[in-house]
């Protein structure tokens, strides 16, 4: 019992002295997350798939509308490469929400977007969507997406 008391006392002192991990600088982290989302949009519009891939973790997943889940950088590379080959491809996004965990290691961003591609006749068709991204802070302090999901605001096509 005499050996246990110093250990318990030391743990109590640390707990009461505020040795908890420092709280995340929420404003700075939110700014970094917003910047990361703008970088994604800029890379997409530049059709720079490799730059986009740098914003995803190695095991990231996409949940595109009406398609199977796309997991891993190679599958994500294929998905975005094919999308960006579409004539007239351009996208824009607006970030409406950012939330950061109290530990500062996980976050989400959400918003709306518009993506335009040309139809078979060459006419531009714009799809309005909403999206959510789950982000994980990396050891170097950057944020990377681990999961992206989006879907259209348009009504489902009639069958």
Structural domains in the chain, sorted by start: 24-152 (3.10.450.50)
**Whole-prediction pTM value?**
0.80
In the sheet that 143-152 helps form, which strands lie side by side, from edge to edge? 70-71, 56-63, 143-152, 124-137, 106-118, 90-100
Q: Return the structure tokens found at 56.
A: 């995803």
104 CB burial (10 A radius; 0-12, 13-18, 19+): middle
For 108-146, give the secondary structure using H, E and C.
EEEEEEEEEEECCCCCEEEEEEEEEEEEEECCCCCEEEE
114 and 91 in contact (C-beta within 8 Å)? yes
Q: Of 157, 90, 153, which Cα lies nearest the Cα of 127?
A: 153
Give the β-pairing of 106-118 and 90-100. Answer: antiparallel
Residuewise pLDDT in 10s, the chain (159 residues): 555 544 544 444 444 455 555 555 889 999 999 999 999 999 999 999 999 999 999 999 999 999 999 999 999 999 999 999 999 999 999 999 999 999 999 999 999 999 999 999 999 999 999 999 999 999 999 999 999 999 999 887 665
Contact 82, 47 (CB under 8 A): no
């Amino acid at each position: 019992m005499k050996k246990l008391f110093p250990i318990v006392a030391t743990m109590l002192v640390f707990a009461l002295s505020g040795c908890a991990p420092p709280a995340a600088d929420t404003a700075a982290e939110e700014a970094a997350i917003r910047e990361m989302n703008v970088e994604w949009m800029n890379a997409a519009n530049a059709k720079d798939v490799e730059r986009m891939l740098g914003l995803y973790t190695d095991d990231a997943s996409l949940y595109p509308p009406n398609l199977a889940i796309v997991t891993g950088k190679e599958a994500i590379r294929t998905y975005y490469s094919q999308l960006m080959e579409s004539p007239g491809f351009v996208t824009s996004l607006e970030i409406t929400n950012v939330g950061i965990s109290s530990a500062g290691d996980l976050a989400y961003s959400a918003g709306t977007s518009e993506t335009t591609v040309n139809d078979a006749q060459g006419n531009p068709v714009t799809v309005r969507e909403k999206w959510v991204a789950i982000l994980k802070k990396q050891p170097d302090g950057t944020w990377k997406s681990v999961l992206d999901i989006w879907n259209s605001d348009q009504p489902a096509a009639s069958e």
